Amino acid sequence: MNIGEFIQVTKGFTKAPHNRHIQSIVYNDSRFVRPNDFFWVRDQKGFNNRVATAIKKGAIGIIAANNLRGKIKEQKNISYIYVDRSMVFKYAQYNRNLIKVPVVGVTGSAGKTTVKNMITQILRSQGKVMSTYATMNAVYSAPYNTMKLNSSHKYGVFEMGMKGLGQIRIMGSYYQPTIGIITNIGDAHIGKLGNSVNNIIKAKQEIIGTIRKNGYLILNADNQYTSKLNLSGFKGKKILYFGIKNNADIKASKIRYKARSTSFKVTYLGKTYDFTVAAIGEHNVYNALAAIAAAFILNVPYPNIKSKLATFRNAGMRTQILKGINNSTIISDAFNANPTAAIEGIRSLKLISNKNPAFAVIGNMGELGSHTVDGHKKVGRKAADLGVNVIGVGTFGQHVVAGAKQSKNNIIAQHLPDKKSAYNYLKKVLKPNVHAYFKASRTFKMETLIRQLKYKKA
């Protein structure tokens, strides 16, 4: 596309030569600008700083809202284009319709990033994939991701997070998924949605109406809230269910848990397939099933799916197994947290620790609203019921410990006010064969404690 063609689509204004080529457009995040890109700056505080950064990184063109004309500090040899604010969505839609590739949209209360990463790694065996960077899954990321899609991509895989009603619908209107996945529904961000699980269900089901007419919806057959989803808005081809316990189109069985991987069989369309995923815990079997379902729909050969799951590498701090001090084992699952995800992680801890001493180290979990006390208590109680020792760290850690003390099991239940006291306690506890699982919300920065307790080469 050149500037003239872009002006035709966006009805914009420019003094730049219309034959100048637009290689790629980066929306609003100057971190990702590369030489010869055009940078589309959002009308918000600090726009001139972002523009300056983009140009310093090699941007040759700037796209901005009409009301920024005269406010942006223009430089020589840079092309400036001014458009109406509404053109962000209109151009992104134009680009999505121009690039006719299958797009997978992944939402859910837990497992979004892992499923996105699994699908991305599987699909890369078939061609180039445009995928959500890290966990950049908020509503403002949708224009960036959609504009980055280009003719070199064979697939798009986008993670869809939310902290309020309407946000997934907006993202879906950008992505227009060929395949929509709801990994599960739980209590993540419940405090941002009126302390209502029903509102979480409403928010997650917003993806359903954005799936294309020839598309697919993939749902968790075993999640207690799946049956409450309103499917009337689905206009696609088929709904597929994955699961372990209930009837499902894609079902796992004969699950075997190992120290660093999980093996299982999958039944699909009357055939049985063997898989091993390089991740621990039942929740990662569910994650793998969602990814397998998408891969089968997209006709990825079974050997490719199998090999990519066997060599799967997840992002850091997601049930990541590390060597701890004194030959202990640390499970770092501390990128983010909600009670549902924490309980799944503790179940994984119990499985891989076998009969060895196990500790669940739980920090503050945010955005739970009126569910804050009960949510933390539920995690502590579940850990104790599984025979896992409980360390509650921080302000809300006392509720985790209170929950643990409700259990009939005789376990250690210790509240520590901060990470410094937690380190002083745990450095004495972590001994050979002891397993410790760490979970907390992003704002708690549990990784600072984990780094202190990791084994360090002399």
Per-residue pLDDT of 26-40, as tens digits, reads 999 999 999 999 999
Residues 6+ apart with CB under 8 A from 151: 99
Beta-bridge partner residues of 238: 216
> Is the same domain home to 260 and 137?
yes
Please state, in angstroms and rounded to a whole number, the distance separating the CA atoms of residues 280 and 296.
23
Q: Supply the pLDDT for residue 134.
A: 83
Give yes or no for residue 451 having a pLDDT over 90: yes
CATH of the domain at 338: 3.90.190.20
> Is the same domain home to 57 and 164?
no
CATH of the domain at 153: 3.40.1190.10
> Is the same domain home to 70 and 100?
no
Determine, yes or no, domain membership for 437: yes
Q: Supply the pLDDT for residue 263.
A: 98
User: Using an 8 Å Cβ cutoff, are 277 and 285 in contact?
Assistant: yes
CATH of the domain at 43: 3.40.1390.10
* Nearest-10 crossing angle of helices 197-204, 167-175: 10
Residue 286 three-state SS: helix
DSSP class of 430:
-
If one counts every other C-beta atom within 10 angstroms of the C-beta of residue 50, the result is 20
Mean pLDDT of all residues in 261-272: 98
Determine, yes or no, domain membership for 458: no
> Is the same domain home to 126 and 108?
yes
Give yes or no for residue 49 having a pLDDT over 90: yes
pTM score > 0.85 for this model? yes
> Is the same domain home to 178 and 276?
yes
Model confidence at 220, pLDDT cuts 50, 70, 90, reads very high
Determine, yes or no, domain membership for 275: yes
Total structural domains within the chain: 3
Determine, yes or no, domain membership for 441: yes
> Is the same domain home to 158 and 243?
yes
Structure tokens given for 117: 């990463």
Q: Supply the pLDDT for residue 457.
A: 82
Give yes or no for residue 379 having a pLDDT over 80: yes
User: Using an 8 Å Cβ cutoff, are 175 and 160 in contact?
Assistant: yes
- 258, 280, 310 - which closes a domain: 310
Mean pLDDT of all residues in 189-207: 95
> Is the same domain home to 100 and 200?
yes
Residue 163 three-state SS: coil
Mean pLDDT of all residues in 104-120: 97
DSSP string, 331-396: EE--S---HHHHHHHHHHHHHHHTTS-EEEEE----S-GGGHHHHHHHHHHHHHHTT-EEEEESTT
Please state, in angstroms and rounded to a whole number, the distance separating the CA atoms of residues 335 and 90.
34
Determine, yes or no, domain membership for 110: yes
> Is the same domain home to 219 and 324?
no
Domain range for residue 266?
91-310
Q: Supply the pLDDT for residue 119.
A: 98
- 67, 83, 99 - which closes a domain: 83
Determine, yes or no, domain membership for 442: yes
> Is the same domain home to 280 and 324?
no
Please state, in angstroms and rounded to a whole number, the distance separating the CA atoms of residues 359 and 425.
12
> Is the same domain home to 208 and 75?
no
Q: Supply the pLDDT for residue 201.
A: 97
DSSP string, 195-251: T-HHHHHHHHGGGGGGS-TT-EEEEETT-TTGGGS--TT--SSEEEEEESSS--SEE
Give yes or no for residue 393 having a pLDDT over 80: yes
- 83, 117, 133 - which closes a domain: 83
> Is the same domain home to 132 and 280?
yes
Residue position matching structure tokens 């895989």: 157
Q: Supply the pLDDT for residue 135.
A: 85
DSSP class of 273:
E
Please state, in angstroms and rounded to a whole number, the distance separating the CA atoms of residues 305 and 407.
42
**Comparing 370 with 135, which gets the higher pLDDT?**
370
Q: What percent of the chain has pLDDT over 70?
A: 100
Give yes or no for residue 458 having a pLDDT over 80: no
User: Using an 8 Å Cβ cutoff, are 293 and 182 in contact?
Assistant: no
Please state, in angstroms and rounded to a whole number, the distance separating the CA atoms of residues 313 and 118.
8
> Is the same domain home to 344 and 258?
no
Give yes or no for residue 182 having a pLDDT over 80: yes
User: Using an 8 Å Cβ cutoff, are 321 and 260 in contact?
Assistant: yes
Determine, yes or no, domain membership for 315: no
